[in-house]
Structure 1
């Protein structure tokens, strides 16, 4: 029988393949109308969730990939819907989600207001301890700029969403910029070794996430002596306007 760890590992494998695909299909939030239009245009399968209205939740499967659960941003029974999704599509036969796991919206619900079009958000199973390392304050700071922008069209996965969904715990805010930078480089190196992304591109994205979430500054963290030369000698450097090289 499939357990929660197995399902979570399947999510991670599927997540990496999407993220490597230049985010072409890595949607995490969009209007219901656009989601259904994409499904029609790209021949994605659309399923109803048992005992749930299609105006509240839908399951999308892209060309044999892992079925994804999408729910209306204002839908409050999303945990129950996720349990039904696990039982229906993965035959898990469980009556509750263990406390060490949380069902997370891959885009904050607070971004979508009543006056906006009806948005659906993709759900993901996340380790509770990992989720708590991101904290409400960190995500509030990170998304402060986005909350001021009127939602338009589809929203794709960014580095913050990827790190949390992949299961990478953030370093403590108390450590400071130098340690954040070292941590970002170590994670970027690990992801590069796993074939997820180029190391320097990953460092730029990951360290920018930390800097924005902890300080509100939209730029990568200063390069550290142990990897500064490698970054400065890379031809990729010219393509990264937010990379802090001082």
Structure 2
């Protein structure tokens, strides 16, 4: 499959119209039918002919291609300097065990633990967030943190909404530490992570997303978020980029 041309791509605020056309031409996005909803699983081949629906992982692959071509090579290196905090969302056994895609919950948790270790070693704050159901006498089994996610000295947040900011005091704690940039990872891409990102943007934080240290209920949902939504709020990188940047210090 020919690679989409990068000549007319605008970086920073997200996909431009040229980006969308380039990606569609390369067979990466479903084409709408005269204003109607795009048919799930369909996409246009390079020469314009439709091909058979692909598996969710295959539909996700072109977004990873875009991420590697543009976000990892053309954008600045991930921000891991002073004033940056890692925020890990809902890494709890009962959520990690859910059927997720394109990465399993276990894969996401393992990458997040490695990221947390690297951030702590570099003296950067780590925020571990978990959710509790309101107005119940007892939380479901598996409502604590996955091992390694939260350590002594980390900021630990318990939320009762989808995002991590509302009614938790997280903003005040971050500002008290001089944090102005957040690196977001965890579960689920289109729920806790996205909700936290939108609130963080409203609070004025610079935001980065670790695309392979989060996952969703479906691979195409994850792909749309990291490929179309998140670049409008910040930058999207892979976990290895942060590990490399922190190790180089």
- TM-score, normalisation: structure 1: 0.25
Question: Which structure dedicates a bigger proportion of its chain to helix?
Answer: 1
Q: Which has the bigger relative contact order, CA under 8 A and spacing at least 6?
A: 2
- TM-score, normalisation: structure 2: 0.25
